[in-house]
Structure 1
Amino acid sequence: MDLRPDARLHRDQRRLSFVSTLDREILALMREVTERVILPRYRNLAAHDIEDKGGNDPVTIADRESEALLREGLARIADLPVVGEEGCHADPEERRHLSGACWIVDPIDGTRNYANGKPPFGILIARAEGGLAQSGWIFDCLTGRFCAAHLGGGAFVDGTRIAARETGELPPVAAISLVFMDPAKRAATMEHICPQYRLTDIPYCAAEQYPRLALGINDVSLFERTLAWDHAAGALWLNEAGGRAARPDGSPYRVDGDVYGGLIGAASPALWDGMAARLAAMPQP
């Protein structure tokens, strides 16, 4: 490999050109799907347009139409297998692609909010390889906020590079998801973890929760269920912003890992360390 300075500069310029082009293509696709499918059906869903996939997990006709268009658009950008939330519900074998090169798609993140006619909700797309996210994109369908990150390349909001910041509040502000914990773990978390923080609402939308962790709104979040389409883009984006998203034992989040392995997201490594230490000291149910 030629490592002369002029060769490195030329290589980096080509890489930045590719990344910016890719971001533009992904943003255009997200906007197209939002304008063609998601917003026209927002607050216009009939009862038969909403179903329950089980466990109070709703899906709408817009989720399915959005995923179909995203699959078509991503195939035009790069011909990789797509692992989508609705595709995996129909065929769980689709998850096998998570260990290789693939696209990961949540066609409407925050479906519960969307189906009830309220924000927040968005689109999540990630590109992964070898079980690790390489790029991630988060789009807020109502505000148009576009978050992008590439492994080793930083995190951006609407094209501006950002650095994660804490709220500065004491105790720190935490959004703790208890939804998928078993009753014993939920009780232990409420007794030993929750009192150490100022609790705030859970938006039921990773496309909103991850930006809150970097933009000075929330300090730390605790997730129990860690599906790839919910967390691949956001975890990468938060890490690239200088915050930290990792398993409670410190291991990196893998898109092909345990769905219920737990995940801590924090605005800074120090805040992450604080939550991890409290979890480690918590009596096991």
Structure 2
Amino acid sequence: MNAPIQAVAALMREVAEKTILPRYQSLAASEIVEKAHDDVVTIADRESEVMLAEGLARILPEAAIVGEEAAHADGAVMDLRGADLCWIVDPLDGTNNFARGKPPFGMIIALAAGGETQAGWLWDPLNERLCHAEIGKGAFIDGTRITARPTGEDRPVAAISTVFLNEEQRREVQRNVAPHFRLVDIPRCAAEQYPRLALGVNDVSVFNRTLAWDHAAGVLWLNEAGGRAARLDGSPYRPDQDGTGLLAAASPALWDRLAACIP
């Protein structure tokens, strides 16, 4: 299929300029709501999702829409992930950072067909960087095709999210991964983490939570760039399937090296 690459990119830019950037570092306390432990939503998330949904419906009226905030309000929305055609929308990724008035944050959109991601967009409003990919056609940054590259460090750099791990899982990371990789902090923003894996900043990442709006676009983009992102057992990531655990790396060899450390 020919994904509407430019139309979606233009929509993301427009929505960011109208709903996200004007509220950056200017949110009132009443405009930030805790929806779960260590997980907040802002007025910018909600307004962005409404505008994105309206715009995407104009671009492909036949496609279902699964938005993060809509799914939080109504769990039945998740059933649409396996539709013949489906938009998957994170209207403001990195909300915790945004609510604190600091980067990174971004917007993520994926287009799936029958539960398989066909195209993905990751938009960084502050730096005006667009990462996009279409299945089988490569990965691009601002229109230039890119190939993922490792950091080249002797000890590969591992950005591992421990936010949603229990204490035993954190100890396993220290015991099994730390001896072989240099551990660094994560940005708490998938729209930033996936580019870091392709641009020589990080070599590998481990994600515990694998929600479709966080990962569908980034997994496709990294794989199209020549890196590898897959479930812990090596099976493909599908946005229509639930589960935990996802490994991502700048190259298949680095993915294998990390997988060997995960019990």
TM-score bucket of the superposed structures, by smaller chain: over 0.9
Q: Which amino acid aligns with 2:45?
A: D
Deviation of 1:154 (Å): 0.5
Which of 73, 78, 85 does residue 55 from structure 2 map onto? Answer: 73
Counterpart in the other structure of 2:247: 264
Separation in 2 of the partners of 1:98 and 1:196? 37
Question: Is 2:82 the counterpart of 1:99?
Answer: yes
Identity %: 61
187-196 or 39-48, which deviates more: 187-196
Report the structure, 1 or 2, having the larger strand content.
Answer: 2
Separation in 2 of the partners of 1:255 and 1:208? 19
Q: Which deviations, in whole Å up to 9, do the C-alpha atoms of 1:101-121 show, x marking residues without a partner?
A: 200000000000000000000
Separation in 2 of the partners of 1:163 and 1:24? 21
Moved over 4 A (4+): none
Counterpart in the other structure of 1:85: 68
Which of 130, 133, 138 does residue 154 from structure 1 map onto? Answer: 138
Separation in 1 of the partners of 2:74 and 2:106? 23
Separation in 1 of the partners of 2:217 and 2:211? 11
DSSP 3-state at the match of 1:170: coil
Counterpart in the other structure of 2:259: 276
Separation in 1 of the partners of 2:164 and 2:243? 11
Q: Which deviations, in whole Å up to 9, do the C-alpha atoms of 1:14-71 show, x marking residues without a partner?
A: x7xx54xx21101110110111010001111000000000121100000000000000
Deviation of 1:131 (Å): 1.4
Counterpart in the other structure of 1:9: none
Which of 124, 127, 132 does residue 140 from structure 1 map onto? Answer: 124
Separation in 1 of the partners of 2:168 and 2:48? 37
Separation in 1 of the partners of 2:110 and 2:138? 15
DSSP 3-state at the match of 1:248: coil
Report the structure, 1 or 2, having the larger helix content.
Answer: 1
The TM-score, its normalising length taken from structure 2, stands at 0.97
Matches within 5 A, 1:1-285: 18-19=2-3, 22-79=4-61, 80-100=63-83, 101-260=85-244, 262-279=245-262, 282=263
Q: Where in structure 2 are there 5+ consecutive unaligned residues?
A: none
Q: Which has the greater radius of gyration? A: 1
Separation in 2 of the partners of 1:189 and 1:143? 32
DSSP 3-state at the match of 1:82: strand
Deviation of 1:259 (Å): 3.5
Q: Where in structure 1 are there 5+ consecutive unaligned residues?
A: 1-14
Separation in 2 of the partners of 1:201 and 1:114? 17
The TM-score, its normalising length taken from structure 1, stands at 0.90
Q: Which deviations, in whole Å up to 9, do the C-alpha atoms of 1:146-171 show, x marking residues without a partner?
A: 01101111000000000000110010
DSSP 3-state at the match of 2:209: coil
Separation in 2 of the partners of 1:259 and 1:35? 34
Deviation of 1:183 (Å): 2.3
